[in-house]
Amino acid sequence: MERIELHSDLSFSRIIHGHWRLADWNYSVKRRIELIEQCLELGITTIDTADIYGNYTCAALLGEALALKPELREKLEIVTKCGIKLANEDNGVRLNHYDSSTVHIIESVEQSLKNLQTDYIDVLLLHRPDVLLNPKEVAEAFRKLKQAGKVKHFGVSNYLPSQVDMLNAYLDVPLITNQIELSALYREHFENGVLDQCMKENMPPMAWSPLARGKLFTGEDTQAIRVRKALERAAADMNAQTIDEVAYAWLMYHPAKIMPIVGSGKMERIQAAVHALSLKFSREQWYEIWVASRGKNVD
């Protein structure tokens, strides 16, 4: 498995396993352990989760598996997120909202450590841009967590370049990644400077929803149909078994070192993403999918 260096002491597997829907899979703890082990056998060592996933349940499901087989922890890089509060009777929150305060970030990390049953997090991300974000408060939280050894590195998710620049100006250590939505159907971050900044600052991005929430397979709008046909042509040319392999490979062809997050609990889908690493695009093939997504030729 190819590895992507994010820092001198940290690298991720090129393919990342996403746990957004871990609770939905309804796996026994034994099956959860098996799934982690199967991913490791494929070379996938990086897991992406968040405090709110599964209405605050997914991290604990992962933690239960790690507690039963603790030797797995040192083989993994765990990414988690904070900064969103969901309306919930148990925690007294009436309205979904963002919170990037020092207090919330530290409390969220403490709870994540407890849920994950680990004593450190490899990378903590701020989940969404907070309109009320005070960079001094974020910097204070990051500093305390780093000094305590509870979080090794920090990043953001869904941030625009101006927001990354603003936050970086206050931090003792630079952000190392930006987790963003990217797919053959969602091109916004190819064009708005986000990927340009990732390359400029040497912060390889993680790509969520790389299959456009399944629209690559089932979408019936004209863009989805065009792109699906282009993916099918590319799959035939490259002897790929499925179009999801081509969709992952298309993202990874970009020089920003994009790391797709595979949010499936089915091994055949995870294996398809790994097989994408062996597919080789030409520029013309890559642009055929780009043009299909755009709906018009490049100028």
Q: Phi then psi for 137, rounded to 5 degrees?
A: -70, -40
Nearest to 80 by CA among 40, 104, 115: 115
Terminal Cα-to-Cα distance of the chain (whole angstroms): 37
- The gap from C-alpha 286 to its chain's centroid, in whole angstroms, comes to 22
Q: Characterize the bridge pairing of strands 259-262 and 151-157.
A: unpaired
Q: Identify the active-site residue in 53, 159, 186, 248.
A: 53
Catalytic residue status for 53? yes
Helix-then-strand count for the chain, H and E? 14, 12
Using CA atoms, how far apart are residues 62 and 163, in angstroms rounded to an integer? 31
Is residue 244 helix, strand or coil? helix
Q: Is 94 helix (H, G, I), strand (E, B) or coil?
A: coil
User: How far is C-alpha 277 from the geometric centre of its chain's CA atoms?
Assistant: 17
Backbone phi, then psi, for 251, in 5-degree steps? Answer: -65, -40
Please answer whether residues 19 and 62 qualify as being in contact, where contact means their C-beta atoms are separated by less than 8 angstroms: yes
Structure tokens at 104: 């919330």
Q: Which residues are catalytic, by number?
A: 53
